[in-house]
Amino acid sequence: MAKKTYQEKRDFSKTSEPEWKEHPSKGEFPKFVVQKHAARTLHYDFRLEINGVLKSWVIPKGPTANPEEKRLAIHVEDHPLDYADFEGTIPKGEYGGGTVMIWDNGNFANIKKWKGREYTLEESYDEGTMEFFLNGKKLKGGYALIKTKQNWLFFKMKDKYASDHDDWDDDKSVETGRTMEEIANS
């Protein structure tokens, strides 16, 4: 299902995005990626490795380290694990046409606990009450993704990594150091 949706949306003779490939689910420290994406409207794609796929959300305003700001997150189709390495430009007129930058990446750990019980990553995803510790180059510490009636909310949990200002360079790839413009022109 996930594979079908992902593949059907894209013409792989035109886009350089990776085709769907199955991966075994991994162990303790799954990966996450945030991709800044200048499609029709600029947004940030937040992806978490769960059971061998990248569960994906569009965060229109992007992440923030400020716990006071809850950001809208829209759940979209699963992406293959290889998508975490994709940086480049999807041709105009294709699905998601525009430049994609690897804005942040790293590993994460599930930290969901409730009333003394530890939840698995799958459980907290299914329930729509996720809490995880991000070990990224920009994003660090506890973050939450909570399902509401209509959508999801993404926000920083209060810990020593919380901050009322974001001190990262928004326009720099953590993989290649390139700006959106440099990626678009390459």
Nearest residue to the partner Mn ion, using Cβ: 37
Sort 93 into a burial class: Cβ within 10 Å, 0-12 / 13-18 / 19+: exposed
Please state the φ and ψ torsions of residue 172, each to the nearest 5 degrees.
-140, 130
Cβ 24 vs Cβ 50: under 8 Å: no
Ramachandran category for residue 128: left, alpha or beta (phi over 0 → left; psi -120 to 50 → alpha): left
Q: Which is nearer to Mn ion, 9 or 137 (CB)?
A: 9
Q: Which is nearer to Mn ion, 90 or 141 (CB)?
A: 90
For Mn ion, the binding residues (CB under 5 A) are: 37, 45
Cβ 87 vs Cβ 175: under 8 Å: yes
Smallest separation (angstroms) from Mn ion to the CB of 96: 5
Q: Which is nearer to Mn ion, 56 or 110 (CB)?
A: 56
Whole-angstrom Cα Rg for the chain? 16
Smallest separation (angstroms) from Mn ion to the CB of 90: 9
Smallest separation (angstroms) from Mn ion to the CB of 18: 14
Q: Which is nearer to Mn ion, 87 or 119 (CB)?
A: 87
Smallest separation (angstroms) from Mn ion to the CB of 125: 20
